[in-house]
Amino acid sequence: MSPPKTEAPYVHGSAPKTAILFCNLGTPDAPTPAALRRYLAQFLSDPRVVEIPRLIWMFILHGIILRVRPAKSAQKYAKVWTSEGSPLKVWTDKQAKLLQGLLGERGHRVTVRYAMRYGAPAIGATLDALRAEGATRVLVLPAYPQYSGATTASVVDDVARWALQTRHLPELRFINHYHDDAAYIAALATNVRQHWAEHGRPDRLVMSFHGMPARTLALGDPYHCECLKTGRLLAEQLGLTQQDYQVTFQSRFGKAKWLEPYTEPTLKKIAAEGVKHVAVICPGFSADCLETLEEIAIEARNTFLQAGGQRFDYIPCLNDAPAGMRALADLTERHLQGWPTQEAPDAAALKGQLARAQALGAKH
């Protein structure tokens, strides 16, 4: 283990400051094979993401996958890349700024920064920057409503690695999940209703969550159960029966069994059964990204239409929707409880109050 980094000397009497670290999964720097190779090497090297014997996996990753997959993935990213960059990075940056604004309107004097578990800005570098700005308390908010060892726990791992190299640690808190948070569910329901009001109600609503290997459920990961609960609560908010919606899992990788039912085969099946109009929402993604814009809005759409379906609607993620941002602000505010984040009176006002209190005390 390397020794802690050299840090700026501690300044006695410094006012405590609170920061929010909003963490999302990550994105390559550009839609190019070289950028994808760097990104995938970091992402797929995480033992939280791929839980097979390390030596075997490293041989497969560097000997096969990183020779083939970057070029294919780059083509997919190119389909959704914007003039501002990766959609995930654009939305996550905007969400962090909006969150700071909302908390500021509620009187909280906090700094909100975003970081990516893989790629830039890195979690460690962002925590270094927050400490340099004087942050003495940091609330870590992963952008994952449902807890998984491959996502939420991996964020905690990365914060811990940074902590091992840091001498003067800030107080740290972590939000593990908010899959059943009432405001989050209400925001999703509002998003769906608004889409239906503009585009019509479908015959079936498919709620597609990111997949995980099936063995993670047997190993104790709560992700599958939390996805099902999110789906059930959202259906209840929308007044749907069990025949009106279905929870599925996308983004399967490799040949092992993953959580079922899989999204694209389900879309084929319901099209063959005569469902003509389907809408798909991805409640586990806080912001639109490759997995929603390319895998669902493009590939899954083609799958459904080619299987005999007539109309496919993709319902965007919450992104910067006001209800979704308020839900994040509510969640953050609850987890800040006990930390004095309210705007403090200025020094002159405090000095005046003290003088008046002393004068009052002298009279008695």
Q: Does the annotation place 168 within a ligand binding site?
A: no
DSSP annotation of 337 reads T
Taking the C-alpha atoms of residue 246 and residue 283, their distance in angstroms, rounded to an integer, is 12
Confidence of residue 353 (pLDDT cuts 50, 70, 90): very low
Helix (H, G, I), strand (E, B) or coil at 324: helix
User: Which is it for the CA torsion 27, 28, 29, 31, positive or negative?
Assistant: negative
- Residue 158 belongs to what H/E stretch? helix 152-164
Q: How many residues does the chain have?
A: 364
Spatial neighbors of 31 by CB under 8 A, at least 6 apart, are 74, 77, 78, 81
- Tokens coding 284: 């586990």
Domain 17-178+321-335 carries which CATH code?
Answer: 3.40.50.1400
**Nearest 5°: phi and psi at 291?**
-65, -25
Read off the pLDDT of each residue in 131-136 and give the average, rounded to a whole number. Answer: 95
Angle between helices 33-44 and 66-80 (to 10 degrees): 110
Residue 364 has pLDDT above 50, yes or no: no
Residue with the bigger pLDDT between 10 and 241: it is 241
Residue 239 has pLDDT above 70, yes or no: yes
Residue 349 has pLDDT above 60, yes or no: no
Instruction: Specify the amino acid at residue 18.
Output: T
- 188-223 tens-digit pLDDT: 999 999 999 999 999 999 999 999 999 999 999 999
Q: How many CB atoms lie within 10 A of CB 76?
A: 18
Q: How many CB atoms lie within 10 A of CB 337?
A: 7
Spatial neighbors of 206 by CB under 8 A, at least 6 apart, are 245, 246, 248, 263, 266, 267, 270, 278, 279, 280, 281
Do 17-178+321-335 and 182-315 fold alike per CATH? yes
Helix (H, G, I), strand (E, B) or coil at 316: coil
Read off the pLDDT of each residue in 19-24 and give the average, rounded to a whole number. Answer: 98
Q: How many CB atoms lie within 10 A of CB 52?
A: 12
For all residues of the chain together, what is the average pLDDT? 93
Strands 245-250 and 135-142: unpaired
What's the distance, CA 222 to chain centroid? 17
Read off the pLDDT of each residue in 163-191 and give the average, rounded to a whole number. Answer: 97
Domain range list for the chain: 17-178+321-335, 182-315
Residue 360 has pLDDT above 60, yes or no: no
H helix intervals, 19-149: 33-44, 54-60, 66-80, 87-105, 123-132
What's the distance, CA 281 to chain centroid? 16
Q: How far are the Cα atoms of 80, 103, 237 from residue 44, in angstroms, in the given order?
A: 22, 35, 37
Residue 317 has pLDDT above 80, yes or no: yes
* Locus of tokens 């995930």: 88
Taking the C-alpha atoms of residue 104 and residue 106, their distance in angstroms, rounded to an integer, is 5
Helix (H, G, I), strand (E, B) or coil at 212: coil
Taking the C-alpha atoms of residue 190 and residue 299, their distance in angstroms, rounded to an integer, is 26
Read off the pLDDT of each residue in 43-65 and give the average, rounded to a whole number. Answer: 96
Q: Does the annotation place 12 within a ligand binding site?
A: no
**Can you give the pLDDT at residue 354?**
47
Confidence of residue 255 (pLDDT cuts 50, 70, 90): confident
Confidence of residue 3 (pLDDT cuts 50, 70, 90): low
- 146-158 tens-digit pLDDT: 999 999 999 999 9
Taking the C-alpha atoms of residue 26 and residue 120, their distance in angstroms, rounded to an integer, is 7
Segment among 14-18, 58-62, 171-175 with least mean pLDDT? 14-18
> CB burial class (10 A; 0-12, 13-18, 19+) of residue 64?
exposed
Read off the pLDDT of each residue in 168-197 and give the average, rounded to a whole number. Answer: 98
Domain 182-315 carries which CATH code?
Answer: 3.40.50.1400
Taking the C-alpha atoms of residue 275 and residue 202, their distance in angstroms, rounded to an integer, is 9
